Amino acid sequence: MIQWWQILLLTLYAGFQIMDELHWYSSAGSAVFSGFITGLVMGDMATGLFIGGSMQLTILGVGTFGGASRIDANSGTLIATAFAVSSGMDPEQALAALGVPVAAILVYTDILGRMANTFWGHACDADVEKMNWGAYNVHYWMGAVSWCLSRMIPVFLALAFGQGLVDAITTALNGDLAWLGTGLTVAGGMLPAVGFAILLRYLPVKKHVAYLILGFIIAALLGTAFSSIVTLGTDASTLATGLNSLLGEDAAVAVGGGYKGLSMLTIALIGFALAYIYYKQSQAAPAAVAAGAEGDDDDEL
Amino acid sequence: MSSKGYKLTKADFQQINRRNLVGFQAGWNYERMQHTGYLWIILPQLRKIYGDGTEELKTACRTHCAPFFNTSNFLNTIITGIDLALEETDGVESLETVASLKTGLMGPLASIGDSIFGSLLPTIFGALAANMAIEGNPLGLFIWIAVNIVVDWFRCKQTYIAYDQGMKLVTTMSDKLNAITDAATVMGVFMVGALVSTNVGIVVSAVPEIGGVAINIQDILNNICPKLVPAALVGFVYWILGKKGMTSTKAIFIVLVIGIVFGALGWVAKG
């Protein structure tokens, strides 16, 4: 059950995050942060981070260029995390069954908010003619009210009245509809592929295809190698525990553990090094830069 | 000359930057987008330049508020800085130049700002934050916040630079920025490649029997190259995104349905 103070805090955050994204852009208006903060409020940070992170990857390439509406990943993450914790839903299923649909539906309240602001824009025009600056300030900030309410109202309604529905869904997914639950889990794992594909549509991928291959292969090989090492380390220590119980204390076998998975930060540094080399080379041969930054832009998304 | 000879001070620019970071896009609307916001962040300064209650002030405000305006909210104060340098010296006589300056610069700045601040930085640092978050570690998120604080500092700094350098800035900047953007896209593309292999968590789980022998498809694929299934999925989505009438939201739902069906049938599993 979601407590009233949790609903209050999350509703306030829903209004705050859109202001953040529009203005100071601290990343508190991102899906990962939304998951992080919702997780903290709900008392399960790991679930929040997981849903937020997966959602962030799903919308990686979806920008708000030229004022186009995009799916509201932040609110979707918020709802998915809140209910995943309160109903004990599997995070991956919550992402696919709640996060994505909510994010898509909230595009419409975003559009409503932007439309409402047209009215305030005209009010501001009139204030300029009257040189009534006090009124201008008020009418201008009414725009922020539209923005905030376009997130806060749906989030509040969902949190306050959605519990019964979500509980029913969770029970069904664990019972009769277990096949659907499995499918949703797989779909949750697949969703980041969309973000990457959209991003590739925006990036000059044909021009830089060599780096795409390098990035993929380096991470695929190292990732596999690292996870094999971790598995091996776990196996070895299991083996050692069994062995040590048979041996005397002075003959005990020590197994070094603590093998870590692949760190994405180090992969990012390889990418940075390659970009730096590229930059240095383009500075040395200025003619090569003239081709411009955007090779094959597909702006139809 | 209608200008009262007011000289903008450091406090004026601090106020502009504050207003820019707190509410530049609050009035965003479908009809003319950032038109009210452009005026709102410089309104106190315009009142000082033209004097309160004057016809000149009304003309200047109308010039700013009436027409369509939309640019990158990371680079908009470059236009503001150049604009104020002109209005401060030439008053209403500069307004025609200012209007064409605004229309002329908003497009190019929008594309630079969107590609660097709206796309590349969120890709690299957002992906990093997301990647660490999935493993339960919020550290990446704080790295991203730190980067954005630097970006915000830069957004404040550029107002002064644009005011001091005027139009010169745009020409000197564009060459350098093009080179940086191009190099940054290298990192962007590289990271997407890496993320495809680490973050698309699916494997083939179907084990068909052919002539009484069970074929472990995933094992065969692993012998060719690990993570081939994620790569194929991204390639597929990339391909459908090129289809006419396809939007990112539709693509998300297509993948959702495919995931549910294939997962329910047991052909594909989380991995």
Buried/exposed code over B201-227 (b: 16+ C-beta within 10 A; e: otherwise): bbbbbeeeeeeeeeeeebeebbeeebb
> Tokens standing for B85?
């340098």
**Token pair 């069994």 is at which residue?**
A242
**CB-closest option in B27, B131, B202 to A53:** B131
**Which of residues A180, A201, A222 is at a domain's end?**
A201
pLDDT on residue B183: 87
Residue A148's identity, in one-letter code, is: C
From A67-71, A229-233, B136-140, B265-269, the region with the lowest mean pLDDT: A67-71
| Alpha-carbon distances, residue A195 vs A97, A185, A199, A287, B255 (angstroms) | 18, 17, 6, 33, 11
Measured from the Cβ of residue B157, the count of other Cβ atoms closer than 10 Å reads 12
Of chain A, the percentage scoring pLDDT greater than 70 comes to: 90
Domain ranges within chain B, ordered by starting residue? 10-196, 201-270
pLDDT > 60? residue A157: yes
pLDDT on residue A298: 43
**CB-closest option in A67, A192, A276 to B33:** A67
- Residues A78 and A120: their CA atoms lie apart, in Å, by 29
pLDDT on residue A299: 43
pLDDT on residue B108: 83
pLDDT on residue A200: 87
- Residues A189 and A183: their CA atoms lie apart, in Å, by 10
Give the mean pLDDT of B77-89. Answer: 93
Chain B CB within 8 Å of residue A15 CB: no
Chain A CB within 8 Å of residue B213 CB: no
pLDDT tens-place string over residues B210-269: 888 888 889 888 888 889 999 999 999 999 999 988 888 888 899 999 999 999 998 998
Q: Are B235 and A216 in contact (CB under 8 A)?
A: no
Residues in B closer than 8 angstroms to A52, CB to CB, are 130, 133
Task: Tell me the pLDDT of chain B averaged across its residues.
Answer: 89
Interface of A with B in 230-249 (CB under 8 A): none
- Alpha carbon A251 to chain centroid, angstroms: 50
**Which of residues A201, A222, A257 is at a domain's end?**
A201
Residues in B closer than 8 angstroms to A70, CB to CB, are 248-249
- B31 against A292, higher pLDDT: B31
Residues in A closer than 8 angstroms to B194, CB to CB, are 215-216, 218-219, 264, 267-268, 271
Interface test with A, best of B57, B58, B63, B141 (most A CBs within 10 A): B141
Give the mean pLDDT of A63-86. Answer: 83
Task: Compute the Cα dihedral for A28, A31, A35, A38 and give only its sign.
Answer: positive
Chain A CB within 8 Å of residue B230 CB: yes
Same domain, A53 and A115: yes
Q: How many domains does chain A contain in total? A: 2
CA distance A226 to chain B (A): 12
Same domain, A159 and A23: yes
Contact (CB<8Å) B127/A57:
yes
Instruction: Assign residue A125 a region (left: φ > 0; alpha: ψ between -120 and 50; beta: otherwise).
Output: alpha
Task: Compute the Cα dihedral for A20, A21, A24, A25 and give only its sign.
Answer: positive
Same domain, A213 and A138: no
Task: Tell me the pLDDT of chain A averaged across its residues.
Answer: 87
**Token pair 């002109």 is at which residue?**
B86
Chain B CB within 8 Å of residue A262 CB: yes
Which residue, A125, A68, A59, A218, is CA-closest to B198?
A218
SS3 state at B29: strand
| Alpha-carbon distances, residue B162 vs A223, B173, B244 (angstroms) | 46, 11, 41
Same domain, A80 and A216: no
Contact (CB<8Å) B234/A193:
yes
SS3 state at B268: strand
pLDDT on residue A38: 97
- Residues B188 and A293: their CA atoms lie apart, in Å, by 13
Give the mean pLDDT of A42-58. Answer: 94
pLDDT > 60? residue B194: yes
Looking from the CA of A299 toward its CB, the CA atoms found within 13 Å total 10
Is A189 a domain residue? Answer: yes
Most confident of A243-252, B203-212, B235-244: B235-244
Same domain, A140 and A46: yes
Residues in A closer than 8 angstroms to B201, CB to CB, are 189-190
Interface of B with A in 110-169 (CB under 8 A): 110-111, 114-115, 117-119, 122-138, 140-141, 144-145, 148-149, 151-152
Confidence label for A293 from pLDDT (cuts 50, 70 and 90): very low
pLDDT on residue A9: 97
Same domain, A178 and A241: no
| Alpha-carbon distances, residue B17 vs A170, B14, B20, B152 (angstroms) | 48, 5, 5, 10
Contact (CB<8Å) B193/A216:
yes
Contact (CB<8Å) B144/A27:
yes
pLDDT on residue A249: 72
Looking from the CA of A176 toward its CB, the CA atoms found within 13 Å total 3
Give the mean pLDDT of B10-17. Answer: 96
Residues in B closer than 8 angstroms to A282, CB to CB, are 179, 182-183
- B28 against A300, higher pLDDT: B28
Which residue, B55, B100, B107, is CA-closest to B82?
B100
Same domain, A166 and A88: yes
Measured from the Cβ of residue A64, the count of other Cβ atoms closer than 10 Å reads 14
Is A211 a domain residue? Answer: yes
CA distance B166 to chain A (A): 24
Give the mean pLDDT of A106-130. Answer: 92
Chain B CB within 8 Å of residue A123 CB: no
**CB-closest option in A32, A92, A205 to B133:** A32
Chain A CB within 8 Å of residue B206 CB: no
Confidence label for A286 from pLDDT (cuts 50, 70 and 90): low
Of chain B, the percentage scoring pLDDT greater than 90 comes to: 57
CA distance A230 to chain B (A): 15
Same domain, A193 and A211: no
pLDDT on residue A68: 64
Contact (CB<8Å) B23/A140:
yes
- Report the DSSP pairing between strands B209-210 and B268-270: unpaired
Chain B CB within 8 Å of residue A294 CB: yes
> Tokens standing for B241?
């995104």
Contact (CB<8Å) A293/B47:
no
> Judging by beta carbons within 10 Å of its beta carbon (0-12, 13-18, 19+), is residue A290 exposed, middle or buried?
exposed
pLDDT > 90? residue A156: yes
Same domain, A191 and A105: yes
DSSP B202: E
**Token pair 């995070």 is at which residue?**
A91
Chain A CB within 8 Å of residue B267 CB: no
**Which of residues A143, A171, A201 is at a domain's end?**
A201
B235: nearest CA in chain A? A197
pLDDT tens-place string over residues A161-180: 999 888 888 888 888 888 88
Size of interface A-B (CB pairs under 8 A): 405
Same domain, A179 and A232: no
Domain span at residue A26?
4-201
Confidence label for A301 from pLDDT (cuts 50, 70 and 90): very low
Same domain, A107 and A234: no
Same domain, A187 and A219: no
A279: nearest CA in chain B? B183
Residues in B closer than 8 angstroms to A135, CB to CB, are none
Which residue, A273, A49, A87, A19, is CA-closest to B73?
A19
Contact (CB<8Å) A60/B182:
no
